[in-house]
Amino acid sequence: MIILSLPSYLKENEVMAIKLSDVMEKLPPARQTKIEVRAQKLIAENIKLQDIRITRKLT
């Protein structure tokens, strides 16, 4: 689990979005690579599914 500290200008009860790049840069390089590889596989799979839907005229 990664715990990010709040920026000094935020109060405890304020919520702010955290950028993915900020989380990724705190991960070890091996974990970053594993995540990138998985993301590329999911993107490729999604493109294939979109092609099937278009071919079968489902979208």
The separation between the first and the last C-alpha atoms of the chain, rounded to the nearest angstrom, is: 39
Specify the pLDDT at position 37: 97
Q: What is the pTM (predicted TM-score) of this model?
A: 0.61
Q: Are 17 and 9 in contact (CB under 8 A)?
A: no
The string of pLDDT tens digits covering residues 4-28 is 666 666 666 666 678 899 899 999 9
Confidence band, pLDDT 50/70/90 cuts, at residue 58: confident
Using CA atoms, how far apart are residues 20 and 44, in angstroms rounded to an integer? 20
Query: Which region, left, alpha or beta, applies to residue 57 given φ > 0 means left and ψ of -120 to 50 means alpha?
Result: left
